[in-house]
């Protein structure tokens, strides 16, 4: 008969194994620093006890029991023992590592004791049929398991391929800037998991290189959906784990003591441009002039002005009183003329 085989997956969200996914199918899963534990943390992690906690299966439920000194926290509360739910985040001590709890059901055939102890039913024995001829294997993608850890949640798919994009028809929907409707596809073929670009623009990067052609995924490959966006790390067997990229912080600069501002000099007008002196071409040498030999003329002595002789009255000159008398007579004649003319009218 078929009985459910429940596999426990612990996805490391924070701590020394960040990004790793561990699977357990044991009835009891021990956790601590002891190397014999199923989940053994490093020995130098003092916040984890040697036997910190254990997860026990009770039917189809799982109970976690705390044995530590620093405590175990589920949904932000310290517990002694409690039943786990799918997707619960377990914190081992307040500042310790964090894991996400997830279960996955696998069916397996198990023979019960009643079937083993029952004698064979001879009456129902049928003759054996000839075995069919072996078929030529055909390379077709079968149903495989895909696991995507995104933040604190884990998504499991059982199908032939996994499509990631922003469209509602995708298997894993991711609403982020730059994500195409159908962004990338992860599929199983030829015994390997492959990844190919569906955007047609090679937006996805595989190990910081554009994803152009379908490529086989290797353990530890980095899948960057968009530059500066979500990054997944391939953990093998169809498992993708989100890799948190911590932004680089600028170096802290120590404050410098405040300095007094420099004294600005008073304004001074710029000096006037000085004229450029053109070079004076050299003058041609002037030949020396020989002094001419001239005879000196004797300077006459200054002449003494002689007094001009005084002129006496001319023989034909008219005296002044004669001119005055003639003028007066002419005036009287004119007056008499005008008076006579006026009296005749």
Contact criterion met (CB below 8 Å) for 26 and 36: no
Kindly state the DSSP code that residue 343 receives in the 8-state scheme. H
Q: Following CA atoms 245, 220, 25, 161 in sequence, which dihedral angle do they give, to the nearest 10 degrees?
A: 90
Residue spans of the chain under pLDDT 50: 1, 109-141
The pLDDT score that the predictor gives to residue 133 is 43
The pLDDT score that the predictor gives to residue 36 is 93
Q: Write out the two tokens for 67.
A: 């044995």
The pLDDT score that the predictor gives to residue 110 is 46
CA angle 154, 160, 166 (to 5 degrees): 55
pLDDT tens column, 6-56: 889 898 888 899 888 899 989 999 999 999 999 999 999 999 999 999 999
Its pTM surpasses 0.75: no
Count CB atoms within 10 A of the CB of residue 333.
9
């Amino acid at each position: 008969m078929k009985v459910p085989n429940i596999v426990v997956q612990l996805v490391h969200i924070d701590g020394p194994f960040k990004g790793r996914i561990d699977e357990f199918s044991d009835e009891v899963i021990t956790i601590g620093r002891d190397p014999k534990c199923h989940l053994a943390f490093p020995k130098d992690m003092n916040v984890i006890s040697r036997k910190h906690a254990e997860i026990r299966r009770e039917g189809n439920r799982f109970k976690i029991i705390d044995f530590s000194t620093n405590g175990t926290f589920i949904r932000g509360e310290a517990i002694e023992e409690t039943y786990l739910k799918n997707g619960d985040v377990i914190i081992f001590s307040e500042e310790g590592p964090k894991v996400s709890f997830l279960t996955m059901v696998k069916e397996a055939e198990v023979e019960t004791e009643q079937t083993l102890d029952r004698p064979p039913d001879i009456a129902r024995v049928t003759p054996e049929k000839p075995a069919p001829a072996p078929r030529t294997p055909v390379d077709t993608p079968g149903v495989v398991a895909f696991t995507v850890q995104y933040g604190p949640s884990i998504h499991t798919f059982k199908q032939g391929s996994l499509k990631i994009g922003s469209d509602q028809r995708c298997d894993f929907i991711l609403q982020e800037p730059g994500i195409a409707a159908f962004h990338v596809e992860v599929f199983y073929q030829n015994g390997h998991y492959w990844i190919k670009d569906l955007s047609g623009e090679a937006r996805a990067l595989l190990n910081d290189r554009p994803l152009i052609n379908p490529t086989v995924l290797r353990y530890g490959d980095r899948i960057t959906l968009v530059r500066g966006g979500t990054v997944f790390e391939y953990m093998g067997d169809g498992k993708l784990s989100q890799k948190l990229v911590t932004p680089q912080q600028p170096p802290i600069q120590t404050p410098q003591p405040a300095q007094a501002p420099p004294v600005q000099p008073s304004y001074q007008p710029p000096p006037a441009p000085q004229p450029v002196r053109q070079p004076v071409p050299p003058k041609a040498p002037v030949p020396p002039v020989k002094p001419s030999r001239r005879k000196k003329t004797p300077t006459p002595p200054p002449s003494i002005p002689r007094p001009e002789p005084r002129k006496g009255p001319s023989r034909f000159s008219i005296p002044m009183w004669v001119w005055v008398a003639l003028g007066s007579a002419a005036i009287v004649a004119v007056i008499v003329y005008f008076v006579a003319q006026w009296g005749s009218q």
